Chains A and B, each alone.
Chain A
């Protein structure tokens, strides 16, 4: 285990998230069982009291999950100087590859962590959206769905915290990088990113990346522009599904654009396709990435509110919540696009 301030903070937060996550699972399971048996008037107060405690714990878990995501990358960045051949977070993610000891699990654990963390944040946010909808009603018609959402969030948080703790405690200082850092890996044409690098390096296909990024983002901005007015009615199920599909397409196109076009241009390294280098060298671009991810999540949360928040009492609140979330998504896409376009123009 490499001990530094970020590792200690990460371990403490992971332990806390593990404990709170297990508590949330236990309480949500008990509440869901009682809810499914049918609520009698005399037991409703007890169930609501338990729901308040569960809500407080879930809010704590939500805050911890959001903070743990950037903390993981700060932790990995703090590990960079530990190995002489490593120049960025990509090198840290490759530590342990080819090892025969417990270090061989490190790359897989990090890959899992990088996948679970966004899911955990999205899941926690989805629960929060449903919670706000439910709170605005007099009868609490979404209580059962809230317990199910909490179970899922608790399970994801426990999996995430457990994976992070395992990664932290596995000895890694003695592991030696088997190759160089991202220079060789991305340029040697191995893996999916390197295949993308091959496409981007070809002058004939490069304009397609610009077109895909521009088109998907402009389409999303146009689809969401109406929500800058409060009076715009919230879209129905099909409208939400279409916007979610657009958000998914924009996410894929923008991820490729970031790796193959934006990162090399902003870092002034035209042949270097490593997004991890942006963490120490261009944190302002990461703000654009955060805005974009926030916008994508906001579209997803609007779908959660529109699809899973349906109940007789929630109609007005649901429409307002969907409209507000889609407006936030518009702000995120716009801010991200302005930042990226200006960064490219000034690079």
Chain B
């Protein structure tokens, strides 16, 4: 039915199809990973964004969330950061931010820390050689 070359073509197509199906099946992995770089999310630095469609997106750090937001054309409905001192989510607009020498997520090199209270932020800045971010330096600031 097929010439030898035809059989080779058929074998290549079948092999490629089987490989694609097997590979896609093997890559089905559970959530809990950063939507930008795929790293596991440490709950202490988690950032959650709600886009204009109401869909939630979680990130491993503030840097990943900022990069993701910059790549989008529309503004998010809400962004929540995690208070590093007490845990729990804080509205990104209400949080205090410190850029310090401490890296939160090695893969992204993020050095920006989020706090619910200004006192905690100042203590971290004094302890880790950082400075409180204000104005345009604050992450998630609308242009």
Contacts and interface: CB of A to CB of B under 8 A. Distances in A.
Contact of A183 (B9, B23, B73, B107): B107
Contacts of A287: 16, 19
Given A187-B71, A331-B8, A182 B23 contact: no
A71 to B, nearest CB: 22
Interface string A178-196: 0111111001100000000
A183 B105 CA distance: 11
A343 B13 contact: no
Q: Is the interface of B mostly helix, strand, loop or mixed?
A: helix
B117 to A, nearest CB: 28
B108 A183 contact: yes
B67 A347 contact: no
Contacts of B6: 228
A268 B27 contact: yes
Given A180-B109, A277-B38, A284-B22, A342 B17 contact: yes
Contact of A180 (B20, B23, B106): B106
A334 interface: yes
B24 A347 contact: yes
Counting chain B CB atoms within 10 Å of each CB, which of A84, A277, A342 scores highest? A342
A180 B63 CA distance: 10
Counting chain A CB atoms within 10 Å of each CB, which of B23, B67, B73, B103 scores highest? B23
Interface residues of B, number: 37
A346 B21 contact: yes
Interface in B1-54: 3, 5-6, 8-9, 12-13, 15-17, 19-24, 26-27, 35-39
A57 interface: no
A141 B39 CA distance: 59
A282 interface: yes
Nearest to A281: B27
Nearest to A274: B37
B110 to A, nearest CB: 7
B68 interface: yes
B114 interface: no
Contacts of B98: none
Nearest to B36: A271
A149 interface: no
28 contacts: A85-B107, A177-B109, A180-B109, A181-B108, A183-B36, A183-B63, A183-B64, A184-B108, A188-B67, A201-B71, A203-B73, A228-B6, A269-B36, A271-B35, A271-B67, A272-B38, A281-B38, A282-B27, A283-B23, A284-B22, A287-B16, A288-B16, A330-B9, A331-B12, A334-B9, A335-B13, A342-B21, A347-B24
Interface of A: 84-87, 91, 177, 179-184, 187-188, 201, 203, 227-230, 266-272, 277, 281-285, 287-288, 291, 327, 330-331, 334-336, 338-339, 342-343, 346-347
Interface of B: 3, 5-6, 8-9, 12-13, 15-17, 19-24, 26-27, 35-39, 63-64, 67-68, 70-71, 73, 103, 105-110
